Amino acid sequence: QVSATTEPHYTIATDTTFPPFEFQGKNGKYVGIDMDLLAAIAKKEHFTYKLTPMSFNSATQSVLSGQIDGVIAGMTITDEREAVFDFSKSYYKTGIIMAVNKASKIKKLTDLKGKTVALKTGTGSAEYARGIQKKYGFKVTYFNDSNTMYNDVKVGNSDATFEDMPVMQYAIKNGVALKIVTKPTLAGYYGFAVKKGQNKALLQAFNSGLAKIKADGTYQKIVNKYLDASA
Ligand code: GLN
Protein backbone atom coordinates (compact mmCIF):
# COMPACT_ATOMS: atom_id res chain seq x y z
CA GLN A 1 0.00 0.00 0.00
CA VAL A 2 1.44 3.32 -1.12
CA SER A 3 0.28 6.23 0.95
CA ALA A 4 -0.52 9.56 -0.69
CA THR A 5 2.35 11.26 1.10
CA THR A 6 4.91 9.12 -0.71
CA GLU A 7 3.67 10.17 -4.14
CA PRO A 8 6.22 12.31 -5.95
CA HIS A 9 5.29 15.97 -6.15
CA TYR A 10 6.27 18.24 -9.04
CA THR A 11 5.95 21.85 -10.07
CA ILE A 12 4.47 22.34 -13.54
CA ALA A 13 4.26 25.57 -15.50
CA THR A 14 1.64 26.43 -18.08
CA ASP A 15 0.70 29.41 -20.24
CA THR A 16 -1.67 32.00 -18.73
CA THR A 17 -4.10 31.57 -21.60
CA PHE A 18 -3.91 29.31 -24.66
CA PRO A 19 -7.39 27.91 -25.22
CA PRO A 20 -8.41 25.15 -25.81
CA PHE A 21 -5.20 23.86 -24.18
CA GLU A 22 -5.14 26.00 -21.03
CA PHE A 23 -7.44 28.76 -19.88
CA GLN A 24 -9.34 29.82 -16.80
CA GLY A 25 -12.80 28.34 -16.41
CA LYS A 26 -15.71 30.23 -14.86
CA ASN A 27 -14.50 29.67 -11.30
CA GLY A 28 -10.96 30.76 -12.15
CA LYS A 29 -9.72 27.19 -12.16
CA TYR A 30 -7.48 26.21 -15.07
CA VAL A 31 -9.13 23.93 -17.62
CA GLY A 32 -8.35 22.79 -21.16
CA ILE A 33 -6.86 19.86 -23.04
CA ASP A 34 -3.39 20.19 -21.47
CA MET A 35 -4.86 20.62 -18.00
CA ASP A 36 -7.13 17.58 -18.28
CA LEU A 37 -4.40 15.43 -19.83
CA LEU A 38 -2.01 16.34 -17.02
CA ALA A 39 -4.61 15.61 -14.35
CA ALA A 40 -5.54 12.27 -15.91
CA ILE A 41 -1.88 11.27 -16.32
CA ALA A 42 -0.99 12.26 -12.74
CA LYS A 43 -3.86 10.15 -11.46
CA LYS A 44 -2.80 7.10 -13.48
CA GLU A 45 0.87 7.49 -12.53
CA HIS A 46 0.34 8.47 -8.88
CA PHE A 47 2.10 11.80 -8.75
CA THR A 48 0.86 15.17 -7.54
CA TYR A 49 1.77 18.61 -8.82
CA LYS A 50 1.47 22.31 -8.27
CA LEU A 51 0.42 24.15 -11.43
CA THR A 52 1.85 27.63 -12.01
CA PRO A 53 0.43 29.61 -14.94
CA MET A 54 2.76 32.29 -16.36
CA SER A 55 3.65 33.72 -19.74
CA PHE A 56 4.73 31.04 -22.21
CA ASN A 57 8.21 32.55 -22.30
CA SER A 58 8.52 32.50 -18.50
CA ALA A 59 7.19 28.94 -18.42
CA THR A 60 9.91 27.61 -20.70
CA GLN A 61 12.62 29.75 -19.03
CA SER A 62 11.57 28.60 -15.54
CA VAL A 63 12.09 25.01 -16.59
CA LEU A 64 15.49 25.77 -18.11
CA SER A 65 16.58 27.60 -14.95
CA GLY A 66 15.51 24.65 -12.82
CA GLN A 67 12.86 26.59 -10.85
CA ILE A 68 10.05 24.46 -12.30
CA ASP A 69 10.10 20.74 -13.08
CA GLY A 70 8.04 20.61 -16.26
CA VAL A 71 6.00 22.61 -18.74
CA ILE A 72 2.77 21.77 -20.54
CA ALA A 73 1.66 24.76 -22.62
CA GLY A 74 0.83 23.75 -26.17
CA MET A 75 4.60 23.67 -26.58
CA THR A 76 5.78 22.62 -30.01
CA ILE A 77 8.56 20.04 -30.22
CA THR A 78 11.34 21.58 -32.33
CA ASP A 79 14.96 20.65 -33.05
CA GLU A 80 16.24 23.82 -31.35
CA ARG A 81 14.27 23.10 -28.21
CA GLU A 82 15.34 19.47 -28.19
CA ALA A 83 18.88 20.71 -27.62
CA VAL A 84 17.86 22.02 -24.17
CA PHE A 85 14.61 20.20 -23.29
CA ASP A 86 13.57 16.55 -23.17
CA PHE A 87 10.10 16.17 -24.66
CA SER A 88 7.44 13.56 -24.02
CA LYS A 89 5.81 11.65 -26.84
CA SER A 90 3.77 14.15 -28.83
CA TYR A 91 0.07 14.53 -28.06
CA TYR A 92 -1.41 17.03 -30.56
CA LYS A 93 -0.74 18.26 -34.09
CA THR A 94 -0.28 21.93 -34.91
CA GLY A 95 0.94 24.36 -37.57
CA ILE A 96 1.43 28.13 -37.84
CA ILE A 97 -1.09 30.38 -39.60
CA MET A 98 -1.44 34.12 -40.18
CA ALA A 99 -4.57 35.81 -38.87
CA VAL A 100 -5.81 39.34 -39.52
CA ASN A 101 -8.71 41.54 -38.52
CA LYS A 102 -12.01 40.27 -39.98
CA ALA A 103 -12.30 43.47 -42.01
CA SER A 104 -8.70 43.43 -43.25
CA LYS A 105 -7.71 43.19 -46.92
CA ILE A 106 -4.46 41.38 -46.08
CA LYS A 107 -4.55 37.92 -47.64
CA LYS A 108 -0.96 36.80 -47.98
CA LEU A 109 2.56 37.33 -46.71
CA THR A 110 3.43 39.77 -49.51
CA ASP A 111 0.63 42.06 -48.26
CA LEU A 112 2.62 42.59 -45.04
CA LYS A 113 5.04 45.15 -46.48
CA GLY A 114 5.27 48.10 -44.08
CA LYS A 115 2.66 46.54 -41.77
CA THR A 116 2.96 45.64 -38.10
CA VAL A 117 2.76 42.03 -36.97
CA ALA A 118 1.85 41.09 -33.38
CA LEU A 119 3.89 38.23 -31.91
CA LYS A 120 4.01 36.33 -28.64
CA THR A 121 7.44 36.31 -27.02
CA GLY A 122 9.29 33.02 -27.01
CA THR A 123 6.94 31.15 -29.34
CA GLY A 124 7.57 29.20 -32.50
CA SER A 125 5.31 31.65 -34.36
CA ALA A 126 7.45 34.59 -33.27
CA GLU A 127 10.56 32.74 -34.38
CA TYR A 128 8.95 31.94 -37.74
CA ALA A 129 7.89 35.56 -38.24
CA ARG A 130 11.36 36.87 -37.45
CA GLY A 131 12.75 34.50 -40.04
CA ILE A 132 10.59 35.96 -42.82
CA GLN A 133 10.49 39.55 -41.58
CA LYS A 134 13.21 40.93 -43.86
CA LYS A 135 11.82 39.19 -46.92
CA TYR A 136 8.30 40.58 -46.44
CA GLY A 137 9.27 43.91 -44.90
CA PHE A 138 7.03 44.09 -41.84
CA LYS A 139 7.53 45.48 -38.33
CA VAL A 140 6.95 43.39 -35.22
CA THR A 141 5.50 44.07 -31.81
CA TYR A 142 5.62 41.64 -28.88
CA PHE A 143 3.07 40.43 -26.34
CA ASN A 144 3.26 38.03 -23.42
CA ASP A 145 -0.10 36.39 -23.93
CA SER A 146 -2.30 35.41 -26.83
CA ASN A 147 -5.40 37.39 -25.77
CA THR A 148 -3.61 40.73 -25.66
CA MET A 149 -1.94 39.90 -28.95
CA TYR A 150 -5.28 39.14 -30.67
CA ASN A 151 -6.76 42.30 -29.22
CA ASP A 152 -3.99 44.42 -30.73
CA VAL A 153 -5.01 43.12 -34.16
CA LYS A 154 -8.69 43.52 -33.37
CA VAL A 155 -8.35 47.19 -32.41
CA GLY A 156 -6.10 47.87 -35.40
CA ASN A 157 -2.78 48.67 -33.72
CA SER A 158 -1.30 45.61 -35.42
CA ASP A 159 -2.22 44.38 -38.89
CA ALA A 160 -1.64 40.66 -38.48
CA THR A 161 -0.49 37.95 -36.12
CA PHE A 162 0.99 34.48 -36.36
CA GLU A 163 -0.47 31.81 -34.10
CA ASP A 164 -0.92 28.04 -33.81
CA MET A 165 -3.76 26.91 -36.03
CA PRO A 166 -5.84 24.93 -33.50
CA VAL A 167 -5.62 27.80 -31.01
CA MET A 168 -6.59 30.49 -33.52
CA GLN A 169 -9.45 28.35 -34.87
CA TYR A 170 -10.80 27.86 -31.36
CA ALA A 171 -10.52 31.58 -30.56
CA ILE A 172 -12.37 32.57 -33.75
CA LYS A 173 -15.05 29.98 -33.10
CA ASN A 174 -15.47 31.50 -29.66
CA GLY A 175 -15.90 35.06 -30.83
CA VAL A 176 -12.47 36.59 -31.47
CA ALA A 177 -13.07 38.85 -34.50
CA LEU A 178 -10.07 37.74 -36.59
CA LYS A 179 -9.81 35.52 -39.66
CA ILE A 180 -7.18 33.01 -40.78
CA VAL A 181 -5.77 33.87 -44.21
CA THR A 182 -2.92 31.42 -44.81
CA LYS A 183 -2.51 27.66 -44.93
CA PRO A 184 -0.63 26.19 -41.95
CA THR A 185 3.14 26.06 -42.21
CA LEU A 186 5.84 24.41 -40.05
CA ALA A 187 3.62 21.51 -39.05
CA GLY A 188 4.63 20.20 -35.65
CA TYR A 189 3.41 18.47 -32.53
CA TYR A 190 2.89 19.50 -28.93
CA GLY A 191 4.81 17.76 -26.17
CA PHE A 192 5.30 18.01 -22.43
CA ALA A 193 8.86 19.16 -21.60
CA VAL A 194 11.43 18.96 -18.82
CA LYS A 195 14.94 20.40 -18.76
CA LYS A 196 17.31 18.19 -20.74
CA GLY A 197 18.71 15.43 -18.55
CA GLN A 198 16.51 16.40 -15.56
CA ASN A 199 13.30 15.00 -14.10
CA LYS A 200 13.56 11.70 -15.91
CA ALA A 201 10.98 10.06 -13.61
CA LEU A 202 8.45 12.78 -14.35
CA LEU A 203 8.99 12.49 -18.10
CA GLN A 204 8.71 8.73 -17.92
CA ALA A 205 5.50 8.98 -15.87
CA PHE A 206 4.04 11.42 -18.39
CA ASN A 207 4.80 9.09 -21.29
CA SER A 208 3.50 6.06 -19.46
CA GLY A 209 0.31 7.85 -18.41
CA LEU A 210 -0.21 9.28 -21.90
CA ALA A 211 0.00 5.79 -23.41
CA LYS A 212 -2.55 4.54 -20.86
CA ILE A 213 -5.06 7.32 -21.43
CA LYS A 214 -4.71 6.93 -25.19
CA ALA A 215 -5.42 3.21 -24.86
CA ASP A 216 -8.42 3.53 -22.54
CA GLY A 217 -10.18 6.32 -24.45
CA THR A 218 -9.59 9.07 -21.87
CA TYR A 219 -7.36 11.04 -24.25
CA GLN A 220 -10.03 11.15 -26.97
CA LYS A 221 -12.71 12.03 -24.43
CA ILE A 222 -10.66 15.00 -23.24
CA VAL A 223 -10.03 16.27 -26.78
CA ASN A 224 -13.71 15.86 -27.67
CA LYS A 225 -14.75 17.75 -24.55
CA TYR A 226 -13.05 20.89 -25.88
CA LEU A 227 -13.20 20.35 -29.63
CA ASP A 228 -16.19 19.05 -31.49
CA ALA A 229 -14.68 16.01 -33.22
CA SER A 230 -16.87 16.61 -36.25
CA ALA A 231 -15.65 20.20 -36.69
N1 GLN B 1 3.17 26.15 -29.88
C2 GLN B 1 3.85 27.40 -29.75
C3 GLN B 1 5.26 27.20 -29.26
O4 GLN B 1 5.56 26.17 -28.75
C5 GLN B 1 3.11 28.39 -28.85
C6 GLN B 1 2.90 27.92 -27.45
C7 GLN B 1 2.14 28.92 -26.61
O8 GLN B 1 1.97 30.07 -27.01
N9 GLN B 1 1.67 28.51 -25.46
O10 GLN B 1 6.07 28.06 -29.37
Homologous superfamily (CATH) of 94-187 is Periplasmic binding protein-like II (3.40.190.10)
**DSSP string covering 45-98, please?**
HT-EEEEEEE-HHHHHHHHHTTSSSEE-SSPBP-HHHHTTEEE-S--EEEEEEE
Residue 228 has a pLDDT of: 75
Q: How many residues does the chain have?
A: 231
In this structure, how many other beta carbons lie within 10 angstroms of the beta carbon of residue 136?
Answer: 16
Q: Does 3.40.720.10 match the CATH number of domain 4-91+191-226?
A: no
Residue 3 has a pLDDT of: 57
ipTM: 0.98
Residue 183 has a pLDDT of: 97
Query: Which amino acid residue places its CA nearest to atom 5 of ligand 1?
Result: 123
pLDDT band at 139 (very low <50, low <70, confident <90, very high): very high
Span 81-130, pLDDT tens digits: 999 999 999 999 999 999 999 999 999 999 999 999 999 999 999 999 99
pLDDT of 5 strictly over 80:
no
Percent of the chain whose pLDDT exceeds 70: 97
Centre of ligand 1 from the C-alpha of residue 173, in Å: 19
* Cis peptide leading into residue 166 (ω within 30°): no
- Higher pLDDT: 4 or 167? It is 167
> 71, 11 in Cβ contact below 8 A?
no
pLDDT of 6 strictly over 90:
no
Domain 94-187 in the same topology as domain 4-91+191-226: yes
Centre of ligand 1 from the C-alpha of residue 56, in Å: 7
- Residues flanking ligand 1, CB < 6 Å: 15, 18, 56, 73-76, 94, 120, 123-124, 164
pLDDT band at 1 (very low <50, low <70, confident <90, very high): low
CA 164 – CA 167 distance, rounded (Å): 5
Q: Among 81, 164, 186, which is best to mutate for testing ligand 1, by the most ligand atoms less than 8 A from CB?
A: 164
Residue 103 has a pLDDT of: 97
Centre of ligand 1 from the C-alpha of residue 102, in Å: 23
Centre of ligand 1 from the C-alpha of residue 225, in Å: 21
Among candidate residues 222, 205, 229, 218, the one with its CA nearest the CA of residue 88: 205
pLDDT band at 54 (very low <50, low <70, confident <90, very high): very high
Query: Which amino acid residue places its CA nearest to atom 10 of ligand 1?
Result: 123
Domain boundaries, the chain: 4-91+191-226, 94-187
